[in-house]
Structure 1
Amino acid sequence: MTRAFDVRNAAAWFRLIAFAEALSWIGLLIGMYFKYLGTPRTEVGVKVFGPVHGGVFIAFLVAAVLTGMALKWGVGTWLLALLGSIVPLGSVIFLIWADRTGRMGSDPVAVTAGQPGRTAPETT
């Protein structure tokens, strides 16, 4: 008997990879500061965080595809997830938005509680 793909597990992995992507962005930005502006000028940060960020970026894209398929994201949500991977810390901003709107498999009722007649938006 095979077990069905667990949507909560996909969302949890996506969250973890999205935070790792944001942290690697921060490391790369700090490395770029020291390469171009800092004292002392050094390329060590870019040499370390460049490949790390590249690998985590690819993992983020794969996780976004798998999570989007599992959660049945619409085109707009896919585009925002991919845009979030390009903008520094955009992955975290996307996660906050996706959680609040129920696109991460979470219950958006917690966000709309206390607002009579308001329902969560449909997935795009």
Structure 2
Amino acid sequence: MLKLLPFFRIVALFEGVSYLLLLFIASPLKWFYNDPQYVKMLGMPHGILFMIYVVMAVLISSDMKWTTRTLWIVLIASVLPFGTFYIDKKYLTKTKRA
């Protein structure tokens, strides 16, 4: 499953970027200018990326030898702004190559 790690890192990056765009650009445009088109445009891709992130985190957790606590940290980070970037730096770049 470590073959999935590069793909998971890409998904984490896109999930984090889509969340930031949704949170700091699309939502303010919706509420301040009554323009929901960007929320509609970014909402579905973000949702799909979020689900892929969660499933992949669970799949690679055993190969990465994450404890249950670490897995929960990785999952909770997906709902925090900039959380996936922190996870990438702290947990995904320190892999031991055999």
Same fold (TM over 0.5): yes
Which consecutive unaligned segments of at least 5 residues does structure 2 have? none
The offset of 1:106, in angstroms, is 4.1
Write the deviation string for residues 60-81 of structure 1: whole angstroms up to 9, x where unpaired: 0011011112212111210110
- Indicate which of 63, 76, 85 corresponds to 2:69: 76
Write the deviation string for residues 33-68 of structure 1: whole angstroms up to 9, x where unpaired: 10012xx43001110111111110000001101111
**Matches for 1:1-124 after TM superposition, within 5 Å:** 5=1, 7=2, 9-29=3-23, 30-37=25-32, 40-99=33-92, 102=94, 105-106=95-96
Specify which structure has the higher proportion of helix: 2
Q: Residue 31 of structure 1 contacts residue 46 of structure 1 at CA under 8 Å; is this kept in 2? A: yes
Q: Residue 12 of structure 2 contacts residue 84 of structure 2 at CA under 8 Å; is this kept in 1? A: yes
Compare relative contact order (CA 8 Å, sep 6+) and give the higher one, 1 or 2. Answer: 2
Q: Residue 27 of structure 2 contacts residue 39 of structure 2 at CA under 8 Å; is this kept in 1? A: yes
RMSD: 1.6
Cα distance in 2, alignment partners of residues 67 and 14 from structure 1: 9
Identity fraction in percent:
27
Q: Which runs of 4+ in 1 moved over 4 A?
A: none
TM-score by length of structure 2 reads 0.87
TM-score by length of structure 1 reads 0.70
